[in-house]
């Protein structure tokens, strides 16, 4: 675990140059969990070196799984027998991604406890979609204050209807179905980028999945998964969106390379209507053979408020993790922008931290906030919100705020963004990291 780290930003400077999109945080953590399905050696290439990944690697190692870094790849070799008695509870409780361990572990244990998850603090984030999905496969899960108690007698193929199109619940259902001999169907599945990533990996393990990219997944599960496999983690749309927002707020010319366009199209449509000027290159494929990549060149733009409310929807709609960036972009757009963050109970409240930097916001309720612009952002000292995306929009605002700002305790940013200080410095930003 790292100690407190702070960012010092001298804002109000133009950015320029090129920045390459990092690999997917959400894809990476899902594939670390997925490696538990494989009794062969799993090599995950282009693994992002972020705190969320570090926590899950600590958990895997505590289970006696061999996890070794080789350059930017992680090589995972399972032990003859996994033991949950030695699980690193501290690491497990610091990431909500630990929930995705339930799906693989049901194939190894009929009765086990898993520590309750933490990670982002976003109000009520129910695990009920996971519980209901896995029940269909014969699994019973009891949620206690500090752990999940998971039991089953026999796992069976199933038809699962997800009442909520949850990324991680879809992934847990995929993990369950992949290792049960027979055909399972997951309806109202999320088709988001990390789900497609998991489907690509399971396909590499020999699991046939029909309907990838859609909302009905048909999984032909196999009883034995023993395969030495290498898989390249795809690029992260929320990483690309961070730099799109940074360019928009600082009115800069930068190019974001290798951006996964199919998971940014709605965001770019809205930004185009808000007046953002950009060009997109011809698409190419990422190493996984699934993800389409483009280079996005942003130019200085005069922004106006989007005339309708901005809200997230399941893929192919605007991504829930990209929604917060519109709050900070709206500070530079003429007019009033209404943002409806309907998924999380309290995340919109964190957007009011932008007021400390000179923004003008009006919180209507825990889900809706209006942002009036344009605002002249000003430097300030802010304690980092304990949630990843709200934390990053404070950083973006500080890049646009003239003067010296201090962003304290940036662990939540380091959970999801790799080398963010160095990458911003390469674009001409004045930012330094200090431990304290």
- Look up tokens 């200080």; give the residue: 421
In three-state secondary structure terms, 418 is: coil
pLDDT digits (tens, 9 = 90+) for 11-61: 999 999 999 999 999 999 999 999 999 999 999 999 999 999 999 999 999
pLDDT band (50, 70, 90) for residue 193:
very high
What are the C-alpha distances in Å from 318 to residues 293, 315, 403? 18, 7, 33
Pairing mode of beta strands 368-373, 403-408: unpaired
pLDDT score of 125:
46
pLDDT band (50, 70, 90) for residue 1:
very low
Can you name the residues that pair with 220 across neighbouring β-strands?
183, 208
pLDDT score of 118:
53
The first and second tokens of residue 69, run together, are 């870094």
pLDDT score of 121:
42
Has residue 150 got a pLDDT over 70? Answer: yes
pLDDT digits (tens, 9 = 90+) for 75-128: 999 999 999 999 999 999 988 889 999 999 999 999 999 998 754 443 444 678
One CATH from 3.20.20.70, 3.65.10.10, 3.40.50.150, 3.40.50.300 for 25-232: 3.65.10.10
> Is the preceding peptide bond at 390 cis, omega within 30 degrees of 0?
no
- What is d(CA 194, CA 115) in angstroms, rounded to the nearest whole number? 23
- What is d(CA 103, CA 207) in angstroms, rounded to the nearest whole number? 15
In sequence order, what are the residues at sequence separation of 6 or more whose Cβ sits closer than 8 angstroms to the Cβ of residue 77?
Answer: 41, 42, 65, 66
- In the sheet with 73-77, reading across from the earlier edge strand, the strands are 66-70, 73-77, 42-45, 229-232
Q: For the chain, what percentages of helix, strand and coil (3-state, to nearest 5) are there? A: 30, 30, 40
| Equal CATH topology for 5-22+235-435 and 25-232 | yes
DSSP per-residue codes, 9-62: EEESPPPEEEEEPPBPHHHHHHHHHHGGG-SS-EEEES----HHHHHHHHHHHH
Q: Which residue, 353, 356, 334, is CA-closest to 403?
A: 356
pLDDT score of 145:
80
Range 167-184 average pLDDT: 97
Contact 184, 159 (CB under 8 A): yes
pLDDT band (50, 70, 90) for residue 144:
confident
Pairing mode of beta strands 403-408, 381-383: parallel
Has residue 366 got a pLDDT over 50? Answer: yes
**Residue 192 Rama label (left phi>0; alpha psi -120 to 50; beta):** beta
pLDDT score of 143:
82
Q: Which residue, 429, 365, 363, is CA-closest to 398?
A: 429
In sequence order, what are the residues at sequence separation of 6 or more whose Cβ sits closer than 8 angstroms to the Cβ of residue 238?
Answer: 25, 26, 319, 321, 322, 389, 416
- Mean pLDDT rounded to a whole number for the chain: 94
What are the domain boundaries of the chain? Answer: 5-22+235-435, 25-232
- What is d(CA 80, CA 6) in angstroms, rounded to the nearest whole number? 42
Instruction: Classify domain 5-22+235-435 by CATH number.
Output: 3.65.10.10
Which of 278-287, 343-352, 402-411 has the weakest average pLDDT?
Answer: 343-352
- Torsion angle of the four alpha carbons 186, 57, 410, 329, in this order, in degrees rounded to the nearest 10: -30
Residue positions counted in the chain: 436
Global pTM reads 0.94
- Look up tokens 């991504």; give the residue: 319
pLDDT score of 421:
97
Can you name the residues that pair with 154 across neighbouring β-strands?
none
Contact 158, 283 (CB under 8 A): no
DSSP per-residue codes, 114-169: EEPP-SS--S----HHHHHHHHTTTEEEEE-SSEEEEEES-----EEE-SS--HHH
pLDDT score of 119:
46
Share of the chain above pLDDT 70, in %: 97
Sign of the torsion angle spanned by Cα atoms 58, 60, 66, 69: negative
pLDDT score of 285:
96
């Amino acid at each position: 675990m790292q100690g407190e780290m702070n960012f010092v930003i001298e804002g109000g400077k133009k950015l320029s140059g090129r920045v390459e999109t990092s690999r997917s945080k959400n894809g990476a953590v899902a594939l670390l969990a997925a490696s538990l399905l494989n009794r062969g050696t799993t090599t995950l290439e282009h693994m992002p070196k972020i705190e969320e990944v570090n926590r899950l690697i600590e958990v895997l190692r505590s289970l006696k799984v061999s996890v070794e870094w080789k350059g930017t790849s992680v090589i995972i070799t399972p032990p003859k027998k996994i033991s949950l008695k030695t699980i690193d509870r501290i690491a497990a409780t610091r990431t909500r991604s630990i929930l995705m361990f339930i799906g693989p572990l049901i194939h190894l244990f009929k009765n086990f406890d898993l520590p309750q998850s933490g990670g982002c603090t976003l109000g009520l984030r129910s695990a009920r979609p996971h519980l209901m999905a896995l029940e269909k496969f014969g699994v019973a899960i009891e949620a206690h204050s500090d752990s999940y108690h998971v039991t089953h007698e026999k796992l069976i193929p199933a038809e699962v209807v997800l009442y909520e199109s949850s990324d991680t619940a879809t992934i847990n259902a995929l993990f369950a179905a992949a290792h049960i001999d027979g055909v399972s169907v997951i309806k109202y599945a999320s088709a988001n980028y990390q789900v497609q990533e998991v489907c690509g990996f399971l396909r590499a393990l020999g699991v046939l999945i029909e309907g990838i990219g859609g909302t009905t997944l048909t999984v032909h599960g196999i009883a034995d998964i023993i395969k030495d496999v290498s898989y390249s983690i795809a690029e992260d749309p929320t990483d690309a969106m961070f730099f799109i927002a940074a360019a928009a707020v600082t009115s800069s010319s930068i190019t974001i390379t290798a951006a996964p366009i199919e998971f940014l199209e709605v965001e770019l449509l809205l930004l185009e209507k808000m007046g953002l000027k950009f060009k997109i290159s011809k698409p190419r494929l990422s190493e996984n053979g699934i993800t389409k990549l483009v280079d996005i060149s942003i130019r200085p733009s005069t922004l106006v408020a989007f005339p309708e409310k901005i809200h997230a929807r399941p893929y192919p709609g605007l991504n829930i993790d990209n929604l917060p960036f519109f709050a900070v972009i709206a500070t530079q757009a003429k007019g009033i922008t209404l943002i409806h963050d309907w998924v999380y109970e309290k995340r919109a409240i964190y957007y009011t931290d932008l007021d400390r930097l000179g923004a003008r916001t009006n919180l209507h309720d825990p889900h809706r906030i209006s942002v009036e612009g344009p605002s002249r952002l000003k430097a300030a000292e802010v304690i980092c919100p304990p949630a990843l995306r709200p934390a990053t929009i404070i950083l973006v605002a500080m890049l646009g705020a003239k003067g010296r700002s201090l962003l304290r305790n940036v662990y939540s940013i380091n959970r999801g963004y790799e080398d963010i200080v160095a990458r911003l410095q390469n674009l001409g930003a004045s930012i330094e990291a200090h431990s304290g």
